[in-house]
Amino acid sequence: MGVLAGKAAVVTGGSRGIGRAIVERLARDGATVVFSFVQAEQAAADVCRAVAAAGHRAEAVHADQGLVSDVRHLFDEAERRLGGLDILVVSAGIGVRARIADVREEDLDRVLAVNFRGTLFAMQEAARRMRHGGRIINISTVNTVLPVPGVGIYSATKAAVEQLTRVGAMELGARGITVNTVSPGATDTELFQQSNPPGMAELVAGITPLGRIGQPADVADVVAFLAGPDARWLTGQHLRASGGLDVGRSASDG
């Protein structure tokens, strides 16, 4: 029996990368998990099989976080299948690399829809449905404090999510619900590999105090801590699961 035994969890964007690691870790800790996916149907099925093989339960629901109707469908399905809600992790997010001079309206609209509006309405559904003592954990990015060219609209939407976290903590605290943010640094995922040139992982590792880039499990472990009983006195907080990347970069910049 894990520390999350009997808990019902929703994870958005749980079919790959950090989201998958979060689903697997919460399930390993005893939670029953419903997670969303958009295009990666086979990957979502693989997650369900892997969790079942380990003796736990996870179920996938097709839902696009950029569509409010899909967000509501995800929570309807989760409540129907799980009978309630104790944990929400908003892991789904997208980024468009474009310098400010080159941002297109359609890029901004899509990033805002998924990262900000989707997070807001996922939190709204959780606020309406979550049992006393629940946990809401939003995934942001270290780029909100470590800006680099081309991530303006991505980091701006994630900064907005961090503010939603702070306000949500104030609004939901009376029900014992904690609301926190986890910000990964560079993490070894398929997305990182596809969106960066060869050698980037080594470059980032060189300015990270712990000397490597993160693994999805590194982030999932921090999320699991916030979802568990030992984090009962943490709310409205922003934890940077970056191996100290922001500290290392600041020091290297002099």
The number of beta carbons lying within 10 Å of the beta carbon of residue 60 is: 22
Out of 154, 185, 214, 222, pick the active-site residue: 154
Catalytic: 126? no
Active site amino acids:
154
